[in-house]
Structure 1
């Protein structure tokens, strides 16, 4: 069983402009996918969603940002507590969204307003047990499924921002591959930045550190519909 209990209560909760501050993430992974009977494979991206207690929907891990942690630490903690995953967190948020809770059990303040910071988390470890396991089931989904199951507009907007970040990464990967072909294949270890630990649950990487030691990510929208790909201009 997980030895780290989930935080409860709102004694340390942060508020701003009469809104409850929330931090969360879109956990993701790259998975090999067989494309045909000849054994050809490609990488597809999947995102992780969790069930909501007492409601029939799926959401991304998120929760209150408390006054003894940074916003990135809060995102990592929520990923561990709600989804049982650890990983590498991108320090630049996908965006900041203001939204209103849809149920009284999930009210942010009396008026139900939240200001949420969402990040992208590349999952490196998936735990067998986690603090909220009894109340939340997790499910890996392709991009098309995630869009279809996202109940709220802000979740779909966060997914759009996530796709733009992944697409930009793909362009940078392709550019780096071209540079590697032109340059001598030598690496000075001291010049390769390391991920910075922000908590026992995850690491963070800046926008200039995202590609070291990571394989090129191929065909971002290979499992999304053609309509989604056209919609985002990829």
Structure 2
């Protein structure tokens, strides 16, 4: 249960280049899918999206980055306030996107410009009561559905990077497993492929149980290279 109210107002809001700084995340989980094919255990990745107040669309939790918190603290706070979830935040951002507010009632700046930092958050807890529960409905979606319901280009771009990072994580994780264990297959589809594939277009199949995550040093190095290649820096 959460008794902490959501932050309101813009007194502590950070700005840069006349743009409002925003922090958010793509909450995700691995869901086991029952299958009897060759005794395999199949896990499907799902992401959490939330409804927008007074608008008929779904978005990822995000909000203003304030001057008394780090960008990662802001992402975790927004996930708690808007979606009512807690979890393990990947500290390296998926990327930085610039976009304009679609609502005149929620301008990012005088020109409506936002600069948003997005992270991946592995959900470990879903609260039954959260600060913005009355205005936000949450919905778990497979990747195909998430692409279809993301009305903004920057959200689709963030999902594409998210998929690549998840695939990289699983590849590194399998490298740390015992040599005698058969590595699982990883199927990653880009946005265009997801539109035509089955709802489980991004999944992991394995005959073994889940093991620990890869070493932090390897993870940071490989993921930093992936993000640099994507954004060209």
**Distance in 2, Cα, partners of 1:37 & 1:117:** 41
The superposition leaves residues 187-233 of structure 1 with CA deviations (integer Å, 9 ceiling, x where unpaired) of: xxxxxxxxxxxxxxxxxxxxxxxxxxxxx9864559x999239999x
Q: How does 1:62-211 map to 2 (within 5 A)?
A: 62-177=62-177, 180-181=178-179
**Distance in 2, Cα, partners of 1:100 & 1:20:** 10
TM-score, normalising length: structure 2 = 0.77
Q: Contact 2:6/2:81 (CA < 8 Å) preserved in 1?
A: yes
- Match 1:228 to one of 187, 194, 216: 194
How far the C-alpha of 1:181 sits from its partner, in A, is: 2.9
**Distance in 2, Cα, partners of 1:28 & 1:96:** 19
Q: Contact 1:24/1:117 (CA < 8 Å) preserved in 2?
A: yes
Q: Contact 1:43/1:218 (CA < 8 Å) preserved in 2?
A: no
Residues 1:161 and 1:134: Cα distance change in structure 2 (over 3 Å): same
Residues 1:98 and 1:128: Cα distance change in structure 2 (over 3 Å): same
Q: Contact 1:45/1:220 (CA < 8 Å) preserved in 2?
A: no
Q: Contact 2:164/2:188 (CA < 8 Å) preserved in 1?
A: no
How far the C-alpha of 1:175 sits from its partner, in A, is: 1.2
Does 32-41 or 79-88 show the bigger shift? 32-41
**Distance in 1, Cα, partners of 2:121 & 2:81:** 14
How far the C-alpha of 1:62 sits from its partner, in A, is: 0.0
TM-score, normalising length: structure 1 = 0.77
Gapped regions of structure 1 (runs ≥ 5):
183-215
Q: Contact 2:22/2:65 (CA < 8 Å) preserved in 1?
A: yes
Q: Contact 1:43/1:217 (CA < 8 Å) preserved in 2?
A: no
Gapped regions of structure 2 (runs ≥ 5):
204-233
Q: Which contiguous aligned blocks of 4+ residues in structure 1 show a shift greater than 6 angstroms? A: 229-232
How far the C-alpha of 1:170 sits from its partner, in A, is: 1.4
Q: What RMSD in Å do the two structures reach over aligned CA positions?
A: 2.7
**Distance in 1, Cα, partners of 2:157 & 2:38:** 37
How far the C-alpha of 1:35 sits from its partner, in A, is: 3.5
Residues 1:230 and 1:167: Cα distance change in structure 2 (over 3 Å): farther
Residues 1:7 and 1:81: Cα distance change in structure 2 (over 3 Å): same
**Residue 26 of structure 1: SS of its match in structure 2?**
strand
Q: Contact 1:47/1:140 (CA < 8 Å) preserved in 2?
A: yes
Q: Contact 1:44/1:221 (CA < 8 Å) preserved in 2?
A: no
